[in-house]
Structure 1
Amino acid sequence: MNWLIPILRRLQKQLWTSYPLLTGVSASVVGLALFSIGAWDPLERLAYNKLLQLRTRIQPMEWADEIVVVAIDEDSLDAYGRFPWTRDRYARLLDVLLASQPAAVGFDVILTEETTYDAMFAESIVFSGNVVLAVGDDGAGQALDISPAIADPARGSFLLGHIKHNPDPDGISRQVWLYEGQFPSFGVALLQMYQTNLTNTLGTDVPDVSAIQLPQPGNWEPSWINWIGPTQPDSASPTDLPVLSVVDVVEGRVDPSLLQNKIVLVGVTAAALDPLRNPFHVDIPTAGVFLHAAVVDNLIHNRFLRPTPQWLTVLLIGMAGVGTTWLLQRLNPQQRMLFLVGVVPVGLAIALVGLSRNLLLPVASPLATTFISALSFQFVEQRERNALMNLLALNASPEMARLMWQNKNELLQNGQIQPQELTATVVFCDIRGFTSIAETLPSEVLLPWLNRYFEVMTNCIMAQGGVVDKYIGDAIMAAFGVPFARNEPGQIRANAMAAVRAAISMHQQLQDLNQDFEAAGLPTIRFGIGIHTGPLIVGTVGSRQRLSYSLFGDTVNIASRLQEMTKTLPADLPLPCLFSEQTYEYLGDRFLGKYVGNIQLRGRIKEIPSYTLLALEMSGKELENPLCTS
């Protein structure tokens, strides 16, 4: 396994030096950690609600037309007395329903205690032969038995179904147990009765129930309910579930054809008697009987929602974290904003498509991880930007600083400024006689005087697109053609001319500055400038605690030595500036230069052909603002 160690080390290095990858991986780890402890569950439950509500607005679904609810509503309570009713009321209802020939009748009421009319109800159950009774529990998981006065006489004539369901922590019912061990749920038992009765019924108008696939007892997980829509009995929408009042059924005010071959669920809908919250009734509850109607509907149409397997959710969260940073680093700010604005509706659209196929896709966890990744990316990128600006912005104009950031990919590799070779023009400027001036001026005068000079000279350099590399005592070192590699002849020529323009501007500004110094009784300044064009190595140097962007190479040394040699130029020369033959060749006829001669520079064996400047840029044959007439 020794061969694997270098590979892992390289991978580790790449991971820790690539901030987009590291940021994305970190966001994914956070998202997965929160997923593992269930932190996303409240958001996923909220997303479940919103998706079903949104689907209903966009493309309403219809309840299974096999289902009818007969409601113990306010009108029925007004007519027959307060709830709970005596069992003769149920017997009377069942006898009336029998005339309409429903396929199955389910009573979603608890019938545990013995009452006077139990025998009457049991007789009606036996005579109907299509009844399902609800079995509740005592709150501790122990099933409550049906009244023996009903169960014993009617044994074999009815089915039992449990009505157990556990609302989520927010009180919304989203899942249901289809089996409790070997014991079917109320909805499953209703469909068993429905399928059995219709299979044994002859006639051309009998619905075909062979396609209904009933679940079998087993190790069932809770099933996610695909709620079809709101369940207000007074709604006029054609997609609503048919809800009839008990009093209307008993008094014969209901067309029997509405009940023939149907699954009839009898339950309490009067306010506060059997409250149940679902995604469409979050604040004001609906009735518990509609939960069983939804279960029956989902079983008939095989449309319980299928949640994605855990491994797929983990994959989506991981992809959301890493994919977001991968994408953001390739987009400009406007595109990033569009992405962040659009990711939520796109995510919801994908989830709605899944919902149309009965798939319950995770929404909150991938979207939240996406935003965690985006915020982390923004934070790290801003920190990197600040570091880059701290490194370069004080040495360059604001325009150049913005250009550096816009083209940071040319400067940065794996989140760090990398060394590069390029051709640039270096300008070296030094004050003459600074040592003696420093000896005569007190520090509280010397430093403001020197800083004023630096500020004026730096502005001249930056105005021409140059970058101040460093201040060395009283000297200024600047470069034109950094930090981006511009090695085409036309680009090198433009940089050389910009350097010479900066030198001329520095000379002109120094004249005005000296007038101010003289008026203030301060020493005036004379300087020398050396300019050379050639290859450079640029990059960051220093420690992790302190980094600086610097230039290296013989080009820097030559510019510095040329600056030193300006001391040998005639004192009456207006601009004490020397530039090398390499720089002069790029100037062409735009500047009027004068060959000074081959100069022996300190530390070099070979002499350097050197030139000085006599005038500003030329326009045709005319000189503009000549520095001297000789």
Structure 2
Amino acid sequence: MPLSTSSELGGLVLAGISVTGLVLGSRQLGYLESFELAVYDAMVRMRSNANADPRLLIVAITEADLRTQKQLPIPDRVYAKALSQLQHHQPRTIGLDIFRDIPIEPGHAALTKELRRSNVIAIHFLGNTPEEAIPAPSPVSANRIGFSDLMTDTDGVIRRNLMFVSEGAVESVSFSTRLAMHYLNQSGDRLPNGHFVLGKATFSPLKSNSGGYQRIDAGGEQILLNYRSAQSPAEVVTLNQVLQNQVNPALIKDRIVLIGSTALSVKDLFFTPFSPAKTANPKMPGVVIHAQMLSQTLTAAMEGRSLFWFWSEPIEILWIVSWAIAGGLIAGWIQRPFILALAGTGLLLLLLGAGYGLFLYHAWVPIAAPAIAAIAVGSFTIIHQMQYARQQQQIVMKLLGQQTSPEIASALWNSRDRLLQSGMLAGQTLTVTILFIDIRNFSGISEQHSPEVMMGWLNEYMGSMTQAVHHHHGIVNKFMGDGLMAVFGVPVPRLTIAEIAADARQTVACAIEMGDRLQTLNQDWQQRGLPVVQMRAGIYTGTVMAGSLGGKNRLEYAVIGDSVNIAARLEACQKDKQLDLCRILIARETLNHLQEQFRVEAWGHLQLRGRQSLVEVFQVLGYADLSNQSSQLDQPQPELYRDRLITEDPN
């Protein structure tokens, strides 16, 4: 239900701001980071894999290679032979992702000779403490050493490439960065703002809140790792193939060759964004991850491919707030649950599509946070509207109570936005039909019975009369001692003459039914020794003002106007002139709408109490066609009966 008052709208806006602020605060504290990372991983998996990088070759040490050597760790002579075999085919760079800080005979001297070659890059391990550090082989010079440490997120997944680490004046370079520098024969340039330039690329370091991150350790200089492939970014051969000279020389010449273990038993394995999609062997070997990093660096430096970029914090906040507003607007203006569900789903799909589209252009923007904000604000809006609707329903029921038919209650509730303003039923001019009923000689009856007996007896009477009103789609507006006022045609306006005529016919039919009900009640009361009575009814069709009347502490639904007075005066007109059990008097204004469906008797133009002008009065005697009374009442007739007067001689 769209809010119709500025106060309600203002309250909802303030509440929406609070909910959005709560989401932003949770994001700032890092509580949403895991959701952002999950979305990021899904987008990484959705991208198509690139072809193998033609600049790289991986020499994998597999479980089969380990079984072939029949010795662990593998002796130095094996690696020396492998390096020698590779050098024959003129690789530009060889990276040895194997720790060889201590000799493992036989063959240490041969390995030392191979490690002294200028195109061989070795690794060392920084660790978190000096005790964890593992040095590089002593024959390798400092400009041919790179650290092999990999940076994991809190969930153990590798999404970042740590390129440099500075400890005081000493700067360490990562294994993949060192390989790229050697391949390009460039050391790169450091800019004052901490950026690093290599070839065509400028590497901007991650901040603690870049993209979906919020509280990461941004120490050193890191970039977001752009995986080339879910499997391997390069061609892969095995150590045995190299040792047996079974590798095509074209796969080696002028390439960077990385040597490392892929065997599960070595446990140099790590989780990646692709891991959730893999059932067997979900982890990626370290040497393959180094190759992923190396491929990204080379592609950016040589081809100018864009690295991941991120929005500033104010723009990200504006992005999140915009989606929160969209979620609130959809929830606030779409009322049908099915359409609302479709629109909400469409909004989230649009957000995912926009985020993924930007991701394909190497932008990582928040997706989980705006989605949560949109859902939270939308849900709160729906809850707020439900509460507001309940409040309105309470107002309606307080005004009308249980004194209306289900059809009228449903119509009223469907039109509540137009009818209710500031917690009140707004006054409106309506054309209605008013019915007043009263018990003849009630005062005399009351003198003969105790209040307790009269209360029970009167409740039976009013209960039966109220049912008749509901049956004919009217509203019991008020009880007045032994009298009752009912209104037909409120609170939903009647917009056509046919609808007004239908109300008039229903009102007259209701009065006739009341007479039938009174006859049944009298038979029961007579058997029980209770009073047997007659009743009078006055009916008038005209214009009234209907709406809430009263103040904050007492409020009721009132119908005001001369039409009400005329209906009341018709009921009280010539009280002694009554032969029937239920006398029903109507005016010409009501008769014009009856369309020959009832038999009437003309009483002429009468002076009603308190009125100067005369009113043309008629008594309703019954239905004109008893066999067809129900179908006639159910079908509104557009033509008005204005000129012809139906009369019947009572004798």
TM-score where L is the length of structure 2: 0.77
The residue matched to 2:318 in structure 1 has which SS? Answer: helix
Q: Does 1:551 align with 2:558?
A: yes
Note the C-alpha offset of 1:332.
2.0
Note the C-alpha offset of 1:476.
3.1
Which of 393-402 and 326-335 deviates more?
Answer: 393-402
Indicate the residue corresponding to 1:293 in structure 2: 291
1:366 aligned residue (341, 366, 370): 370
Q: How does 1:328-477 map to 2 (within 5 A)?
A: 328=331, 329-390=333-394, 391-392=396-397, 394-413=402-421, 417-434=425-442, 449-477=457-485
Which of 562-571 and 211-220 deviates more?
Answer: 211-220
One-letter code of the match for 2:35? Answer: L
**CA 1:276/1:509 → structure 2, altered by over 3 Å: closer, same or farther?**
same
CA distance in 2, matches of 1:574, 1:451: 19
Indicate the residue corresponding to 1:91 in structure 2: 80
CA distance in 2, matches of 1:606, 1:327: 58
CA distance in 2, matches of 1:174, 1:536: 73
The residue matched to 1:149 in structure 2 has which SS? Answer: coil
One-letter code of the match for 2:517? Answer: Q
Q: Does 1:52 align with 2:44?
A: yes
Q: What is the RMSD computed on CA atoms of the aligned residues?
A: 4.0
Indicate the residue corresponding to 1:253 in structure 2: 246
Indicate the residue corresponding to 1:175 in structure 2: 160
Indicate the residue corresponding to 1:599 in structure 2: 607
Instruction: Provide, for residues 58-100 of structure 1, a one-character-per-residue CA deviation record: whole Å limited to 9, x for no partner.
Output: x454453433332222122223356654544433332222233
CA distance in 2, matches of 1:70, 1:591: 103
Which of 213-222 and 606-615 deviates more?
Answer: 213-222
The residue matched to 1:336 in structure 2 has which SS? Answer: helix
Instruction: Provide, for residues 124-156 of structure 1, a one-character-per-residue CA deviation record: whole Å limited to 9, x for no partner.
Output: 2332x33333343222499946346233xx354
Indicate the residue corresponding to 2:568 in structure 1: 561
CA distance in 1, matches of 2:446, 2:160: 85
CA distance in 2, matches of 1:172, 1:440: 93
CA distance in 1, matches of 2:522, 2:325: 59
Indicate the residue corresponding to 2:120 in structure 1: 131
Q: Does 1:101 align with 2:113?
A: no
One-letter code of the match for 1:213? Answer: A
CA distance in 1, matches of 2:37, 2:239: 35
Q: Does 1:571 align with 2:585?
A: no
One-letter code of the match for 1:352? Answer: Y
CA distance in 2, matches of 1:433, 1:399: 35
Unaligned runs of 5+ in 1: 1-12, 200-209, 234-239
CA distance in 2, matches of 1:382, 1:515: 48
Q: How does 1:100-119 map to 2 (within 5 A)?
A: 100-112=89-101
Note the C-alpha offset of 1:612.
3.5
**CA 1:294/1:420 → structure 2, altered by over 3 Å: closer, same or farther?**
farther
The residue matched to 1:254 in structure 2 has which SS? Answer: coil
Which of 509-518 and 68-77 deviates more?
Answer: 509-518
Assess if the C-alpha contact under 8 Å between 2:549 and 2:558 holds in 1: no
Indicate the residue corresponding to 1:4 in structure 2: none
CA distance in 1, matches of 2:71, 2:441: 110
Instruction: Provide, for residues 157-205 of structure 1, a one-character-per-residue CA deviation record: whole Å limited to 9, x for no partner.
Output: x24245341x2222222233333355443333222222229x9xxxxxx
CA distance in 1, matches of 2:563, 2:129: 86
Assess if the C-alpha contact under 8 Å between 1:528 and 1:563 holds in 2: no
Q: How does 1:318-333 map to 2 (within 5 A)?
A: 318-328=321-331, 329-333=333-337
Note the C-alpha offset of 1:449.
4.2
CA distance in 1, matches of 2:541, 2:11: 36
The residue matched to 2:264 in structure 1 has which SS? Answer: coil
Note the C-alpha offset of 1:550.
0.6
One-letter code of the match for 1:571? Answer: Q
CA distance in 1, matches of 2:257, 2:422: 68
Q: How does 1:235-246 map to 2 (within 5 A)?
A: 241-246=234-239
CA distance in 2, matches of 1:416, 1:111: 85
Assess if the C-alpha contact under 8 Å between 1:431 and 1:528 holds in 2: yes
Note the C-alpha offset of 1:276.
0.8
CA distance in 2, matches of 1:535, 1:92: 108
2:138 aligned residue (142, 146, 149): 149
CA distance in 1, matches of 2:402, 2:128: 72
The residue matched to 1:383 in structure 2 has which SS? Answer: helix
Instruction: Provide, for residues 201-226 of structure 1, a one-character-per-residue CA deviation record: whole Å limited to 9, x for no partner.
Output: xxxxxxxxx97525378987743333
Q: How does 1:481-492 map to 2 (within 5 A)?
A: 481-492=489-500
Indicate the residue corresponding to 1:205 in structure 2: none
**CA 1:589/1:287 → structure 2, altered by over 3 Å: closer, same or farther?**
same
Instruction: Provide, for residues 216-251 of structure 1, a one-character-per-residue CA deviation record: whole Å limited to 9, x for no partner.
Output: 7898774333334433x7xxxxxx753322222222
CA distance in 1, matches of 2:445, 2:287: 98
One-letter code of the match for 1:577? Answer: I
Assess if the C-alpha contact under 8 Å between 1:457 and 1:506 holds in 2: yes
CA distance in 2, matches of 1:362, 1:415: 41
CA distance in 2, matches of 1:442, 1:382: 48
One-letter code of the match for 1:354? Answer: L
Instruction: Provide, for residues 22-54 of structure 1, a one-character-per-residue CA deviation record: whole Å limited to 9, x for no partner.
Output: 56445433333332332222222222233333x
The residue matched to 2:31 in structure 1 has which SS? Answer: coil
CA distance in 2, matches of 1:14, 1:242: 66
Indicate the residue corresponding to 2:224 in structure 1: 224
**CA 1:216/1:487 → structure 2, altered by over 3 Å: closer, same or farther?**
closer
CA distance in 1, matches of 2:226, 2:440: 87
CA distance in 2, matches of 1:471, 1:448: 15
Q: Does 1:213 align with 2:201?
A: yes
CA distance in 2, matches of 1:41, 1:217: 19
CA distance in 2, matches of 1:534, 1:221: 84
Note the C-alpha offset of 1:277.
0.7
Indicate the residue corresponding to 1:67 in structure 2: 56
Which of 114-123 and 608-617 deviates more?
Answer: 114-123
TM-score where L is the length of structure 1: 0.79
